[in-house]
A and B are shown apart, each in its own frame.
Chain A
Amino acid sequence: MGSELAPPIWFFGFYSLMEFIAFAIAMAVALQAMKGYTLTRERTLLYLNISFLLLGAGLLVDGLANLVVLLSRFHRNLIYLSRLGYTIDFLAQLVAYTILVVVYVQQTRTWSGQIAVAALPIALLESNPFTELILIFLLVYISAQTAINYNVSRTTNSLLVFGAFASLALAHVFFLLFTIAPIFFPFAHISQLFGCFLLLGMLFRVNQSQ
């Protein structure tokens, strides 16, 4: 995941499978947002749709790239695909979370949000193995906004969304720690998948309500 360290080989198959499951959940959220946009023409729902489409696309590309590497039995000429998949996934996540941050900034118009968006280009200037820091930065802001929303609304659905983004933020902390030790790589993916399942739980609750 963007470092000189390689993920544990035994985890490669699980890794792809988890990314495919997360991709399906991201698509389900995107679809729900699109349904909402079609009904209401509310632009925030369109941005939410685009954001989750990007997240899903990134997960799919990364999952497929790693699956090809696995099926080639880690052929020397195909190893670069793993890194390419990660780079595409990283860029997709970067754009997706930035869209969400901008939507929250527009909704709340807080100084902290404006600082978060303004600081992003500065963070991008730093080309180093800790690119995960950028995603952590964005996800912590989104988690804080969803936590505030839960504090105001006190609904189970808003708690699930907060839990999801907090888990995704934690996943990227593990990805960051993976640059120190490979053992954190599975934890990162488990945390990422857990966050996606929380979003799936929210979708079930929303669609069951009458």
Chain B
Amino acid sequence: MIPDGQAPAAVPAAKYRSQFRIFVDIMRVIQREGNEAKPTRILYGANLSHDRLVKYLEELKVLGVIQESGSSEKVYGLTQKGVEFLNSFRKVEAFAGAFGFKI
């Protein structure tokens, strides 16, 4: 679970992405890249600036949902906790979507 403090409350989702939604987008890019995504791929895939990407990747590492590897060039992968989180999120998204609610 993403802790309380990480998700801003009452943000109009239609206008801009919440931090929670950006976390999900980053994790989905990593999963799409076969669980080995370079920062450039994540940057384009999640549509983020370099500074924001670095900040969010650090936060996701602290949460324990992604891990960093590689010595010369950094590569990011999902941890078991991250995979389980994305699976849970997919179910919640399908449930909310069935009622017509966007997350």
Q: Is B44 an interface residue (CB 8 A)?
A: no
> Given A40-B20, A209-B94, A149–B99 Cβ distance below 8 Å?
yes
| B1, B10, B101: the one within 8 Å of A39 (CB) | B1
Q: Is A127 an interface residue (CB 8 A)?
A: no
The distance from the CB of B1 to the nearest CB of chain A, in whole angstroms, is 6
Chain A interface mostly helix, strand, loop or mixed? helix
| A32, A107, A148: the one within 8 Å of B95 (CB) | A32
A25 to B4 alpha-carbon distance, docked (Å): 29
A9 to B84 alpha-carbon distance, docked (Å): 51
Q: Is the CB of B100 within 8 A of A39?
A: no
Stretch at the interface among A13-21, A43-51, A128-136, A182-190: A43-51
Q: Is the CB of B91 within 8 A of A209?
A: yes
A positions within 8 Å CB-CB of B: 32-33, 35-36, 38-45, 48, 103-104, 107, 145-146, 148-149, 152-153, 155, 157-158, 160-161, 202-203, 205-207, 209-210
B positions within 8 Å CB-CB of A: 1-2, 4, 7, 9-10, 20, 85, 87-92, 94-103
